[in-house]
């Protein structure tokens, strides 16, 4: 069977909010979409079959972590990530730029050589260039590949952010060249520029000249306020290509997602639902619940009485509270599935309200409640 080409089509609009369909060789993705994070070729505390049952249509894996462990050769030897982790869904791989900033003892960024850093695992010196990042992602055989960018820590230093943005534009050109042509896969550019409107617009303008299959907004969710993040998206929403998917990297909370969809974003990823699930925090339509709280010791109601997936409503708050307070692994499994399931219900409701033309009222109803 011939593999389908990568494509994206907008299907409905409600203001700047929009629904669309991304077609990949491994399946169709309805947008706006939330991608569960499978950092090290696994969504922690969950079977991939169960992640599929939540309605998830794509997952994210991490180039930085996978190149360190287990290493590219082991994954490439079985034909890529899908075979390695027994995954039927499309996979997006990020380039590793964010993890270089957040995890490594970074020695320096060299425009020509790339990011020169020490592994957070064993201290080994590594050079990650745009070419190497793309080669790794091609070996991982992911469906959506991200350009190598420099993701600086949050700062108000204009000169520092501009220098970083200029490097990222150069690396985007080199990433595109290394990627070559492959109609079955997609390469996304990454817009940088901190919280500065002129830098963000310049970054977008230069990336559009290079031409990518999708455009991501990077360098956010690094400590800025939600209002600062929304201002950045407001500055970009009229100039982002209409016919390409738009991806806000590393975001976020349900209210982050609501605000970003209102500003035209199509794709999201974040460790929040899985990480929170492992620490006892559950997301619900009425807000967050810390199930470790002693007030749930005698609460025999489910976290969500309306959920039907996995029969998660057969577990009481009383029981889950007990599991967390005795460090039982089942606790993390239950809340991880609960949270991913909630996020996918949430995204489905967003899409339905956009299609009905009621997204703004849906946004206003839940932006504070969640």
From 14, 94, 213, 256, active-site residue = 94
**Sheet containing strand 114-118, strands side by side:** 105-110, 114-118, 125-128
Q: Please, are residues 306 and 74 in contact by the beta-carbon 8 Å criterion?
A: no
CA-to-CA distance for 281 and 288, rounded, in angstroms?
Answer: 7
CA-to-CA distance for 269 and 288, rounded, in angstroms?
Answer: 19
CA-to-CA distance for 128 and 115, rounded, in angstroms?
Answer: 5
Q: Please, are residues 347 and 32 in contact by the beta-carbon 8 Å criterion?
A: yes
CA-to-CA distance for 28 and 21, rounded, in angstroms?
Answer: 7
For the question of residue 110 being annotated catalytic, the response is: no
For the question of residue 269 being annotated catalytic, the response is: yes
CA-to-CA distance for 46 and 332, rounded, in angstroms?
Answer: 9
From 149, 256, 266, 269, active-site residue = 269
Residue 92 sits at the vertex; the CA angle it makes with 122 and 55, to the nearest 5 degrees, is 120
Beta pairing class for 267-269 and 281-284: unpaired
Please list, in sequence order, all residues whose beta carbon lies within 8 angstroms of the beta carbon of residue 25, skipping any fewer than 6 positions away: 3, 4, 5, 6, 90, 143, 184, 185
Residue 171 vs residues 116, 211, 274, 351: alpha-carbon distances, Å = 14, 14, 31, 34
Q: Which residues are catalytic?
A: 94, 269
């Amino acid at each position: 069977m011939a593999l389908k080409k990568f494509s994206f089509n907008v299907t409905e609009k409600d203001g700047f909010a929009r629904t669309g369909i991304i077609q990949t060789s491994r399946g169709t993705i309805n947008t706006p979409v939330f991608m569960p994070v499978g950092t090290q070729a696994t969504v922690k505390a969950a079977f991939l079959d169960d992640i599929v049952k939540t309605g998830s249509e794509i997952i994210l894996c991490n180039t930085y972590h996978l190149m360190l462990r287990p290493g590219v050769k082991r994954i490439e030897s079985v034909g890529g990530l899908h075979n390695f982790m027994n995954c039927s869904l499309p996979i997006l791989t990020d380039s590793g730029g964010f993890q270089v900033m957040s995890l490594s003892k970074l020695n320096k960024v060299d425009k020509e050589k790339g990011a020169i850093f020490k592994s957070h695992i064993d201290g080994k010196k590594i050079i990650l260039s745009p070419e190497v990042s793309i080669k790794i992602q091609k070996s991982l055989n992911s469906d959506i590949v991200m350009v190598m960018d420099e993701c600086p820590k949050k700062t108000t230093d204009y000169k520092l952010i501009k220098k970083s943005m200029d490097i990222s534009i150069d690396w985007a050109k080199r990433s595109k060249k290394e990627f070559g042509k492959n109609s079955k896969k997609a390469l996304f550019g990454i817009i940088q520029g901190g919280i500065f409107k002129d830098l963000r617009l310049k970054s977008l303008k230069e990336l559009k000249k290079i031409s990518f299959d999708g455009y991501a907004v990077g360098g956010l969710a690094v400590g800025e306020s939600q209002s600062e993040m929304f201002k950045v998206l407001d500055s970009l929403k009229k100039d982002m290509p209409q016919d390409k998917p738009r991806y806000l990297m590393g975001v976020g909370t349900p209210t982050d997602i609501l605000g970003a969809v209102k500003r035209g974003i199509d794709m999201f990823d974040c460790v929040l639902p899985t990480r929170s699930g492992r620490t006892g925090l559950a997301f619900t339509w009425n807000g967050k619940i810390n199930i470790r709280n002693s007030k749930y010791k005698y609460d025999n109601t489910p976290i969500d009485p309306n959920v039907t997936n996995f029969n998660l409503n057969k577990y009481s708050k009383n029981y889950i509270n007990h599991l967390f307070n005795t460090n039982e692994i089942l606790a993390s499994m239950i809340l991880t599935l609960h949270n991913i399931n909630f996020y996918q219900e949430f995204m489905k409701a967003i899409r339905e309200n956009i299609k009905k033309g009621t997204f703004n009222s849906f946004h206003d109803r839940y932006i504070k409640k969640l």
